[in-house]
Amino acid sequence: MYFRSGKISAISIWSFYTSVFAAVLIPNHSLAASTEISGVLEAEVGIAEDFEGNSSNDIVQATVEIALNSELSEWFGAHVSLLYEQDATDLEVDNGYIEFGNPFISSFFFRLGQLYVPFGAFESNMISDPLTLEIAETRESAFTIGYEKSFRAALYLFNGDLVEAGGDDTIDNVGIEVGYSFEGESISFDIGFGYINNIAESDGLSGIISDNDPVPDDGVTEVTEYVPGMMAHFIFEWGSFQFIGELAAATKEFAAGEIYAAQKSKPSAANLELAYSFTDNWNLAAGVQNSVDMAGFLPETRFLVATSYRIDEATVLAFEYANDSDYATTKLGTGNSGSSITMQLAAEF
């Protein structure tokens, strides 16, 4: 799920002697007065049955994330977040970049460092990540320049983990994103479109391609050619209702041996959700997702129902039921179905 957090000041009320001491060690109090720390903890209890009919249950620390945002000066800021996901990632630097910009003066900005490039929204009311995120989310050390107001646009460049056959290890990955948002008294919406010249650099697809590398220990993973990708999303809210629609897709085929061993593939994924808020604290949502040419990695179809209740300002309790249908055997799947039930307790600070 996306990381949404509240914020707390890094410094509470200082005594006179502490202020004098800080003045000596931290000139002008610039770091102490402007650094904000926030975080989220997500613990989950789940039971599941996979496509082979095997049952399992577990308790996991799904997410531990700590973020620090510091205003270094009127125009420069630093952003760092640390992430741990049990059974998925060890403790790592999730984001770490410097930003130039001041939204109170100008809508233009640029960012340099490790970040998630603006390719996809991945908004969801569910506990589990949408299938669009699984094939399109892309974290890289990148340069991003953009404009952000009601209308937004961004251009980003990076040198990815894959190299085009016959090419050099250079900054040759590029993408753009444009969008528009509106917020009224009873109606609001956000619409966005994105393009990337090599969707294989997404975190999900690059892992699959690297695992299929015929020479895994040479330090280089080659692809026949770069495969462009596109994204589109629409988020509409009317009163207590919310509708989410998103599509992520490769625009041409991957060569045989890159996703599948013996055939070409053109992966894509879609997510549709409808949610209703009974109160400010209680939400109910239903969704359907699908993928194409991702047999063995993602379900072909997923139906979900989820509800969440905000216990207090910082704590949310959520439940999700998901039913997955695998690809048919003629499409390299099992033809079976599976399901899962998940309870999540999330705390933000």
Q: How far is CA 30 from the centre of its chain?
A: 31
Of the given ranges (15-24, 62-71, 315-324), which has the lowest mean pLDDT? Answer: 15-24
Contacts of 219 (CB under 8 A, 6+ apart): none
Q: What is the mean pLDDT of residues 7-34?
A: 40
Q: What was the pLDDT predicted at 167?
A: 86
pLDDT confidence tier of residue 251, bands split at 50, 70 and 90: very high
| Phi, then psi, of 254 in degrees rounded to 5 | -80, 150
Q: Which amino acid would we find at residue 113?
A: G
Q: What is the mean pLDDT of residues 228-236?
A: 98
pLDDT confidence tier of residue 1, bands split at 50, 70 and 90: very low
pLDDT 10s digits, 45-95:
999 999 999 999 999 999 999 999 999 999 999 999 999 999 888 999 999
pLDDT confidence tier of residue 30, bands split at 50, 70 and 90: very low
Sort 163 into a burial class: Cβ within 10 Å, 0-12 / 13-18 / 19+.
Answer: middle
User: Distance between CA 282 and CA 310 in Å, rounded?
Assistant: 7
Closest Cα partner for 193 from 128, 136, 260?
A: 136
pLDDT confidence tier of residue 8, bands split at 50, 70 and 90: very low
pLDDT confidence tier of residue 217, bands split at 50, 70 and 90: low
User: Distance between CA 143 and CA 80 in Å, rounded?
Assistant: 16
Strands 268-277 and 282-292, by their bridges, are antiparallel
Query: Residue 346 belongs to what H/E stretch?
Result: strand 337-348
Longest CA–CA separation in the chain, Å: 74
Closest Cα partner for 235 from 199, 291, 183, 279?
A: 183
Q: What was the pLDDT predicted at 3?
A: 37
Could you write out the DSSP letters of every residue in 51-112? Answer: TTS-EEEEEEEEEEEEEEEEE-SSSEEEEEEEEEETTTEEEEEEEEEEEEE-TTT-SEEEEE
With contact defined as beta carbons under 8 Å apart, do 326 and 51 qualify? yes
**Measuring CA to CA, how many Å separate 221 from each of 83, 135, 214, 228, 264?**
26, 18, 9, 17, 18
Contacts of 36 (CB under 8 A, 6+ apart): 7, 8, 9, 10, 68, 69, 70
Query: Residue 288 belongs to what H/E stretch?
Result: strand 282-292
Q: What is the mean pLDDT of residues 125-140?
A: 98
Closest Cα partner for 237 from 181, 282, 290, 281?
A: 181
Q: Which amino acid would we find at residue 348?
A: E
Could you write out the DSSP letters of every residue in 309-325? Answer: EEEETTEEEEEEEEEEE
With contact defined as beta carbons under 8 Å apart, do 143 and 112 qualify? yes
Q: What is the mean pLDDT of residues 14-35?
A: 43
Place of tokens 């969801």: 124
Whether pLDDT at 6 is above 60:
no
With contact defined as beta carbons under 8 Å apart, do 304 and 275 qualify? no
User: Distance between CA 347 and CA 349 in Å, rounded?
Assistant: 7
Average pLDDT, the chain: 90
CATH topology of domain 41-348: Porin (2.40.160)
How is the chain split into domains, by residue range?
Answer: 41-348
With contact defined as beta carbons under 8 Å apart, do 343 and 315 qualify? no
Contacts of 166 (CB under 8 A, 6+ apart): none
With contact defined as beta carbons under 8 Å apart, do 345 and 325 qualify? no
With contact defined as beta carbons under 8 Å apart, do 219 and 230 qualify? no
pTM strictly above 0.85: yes
The DSSP secondary-structure symbol of 128 reads S
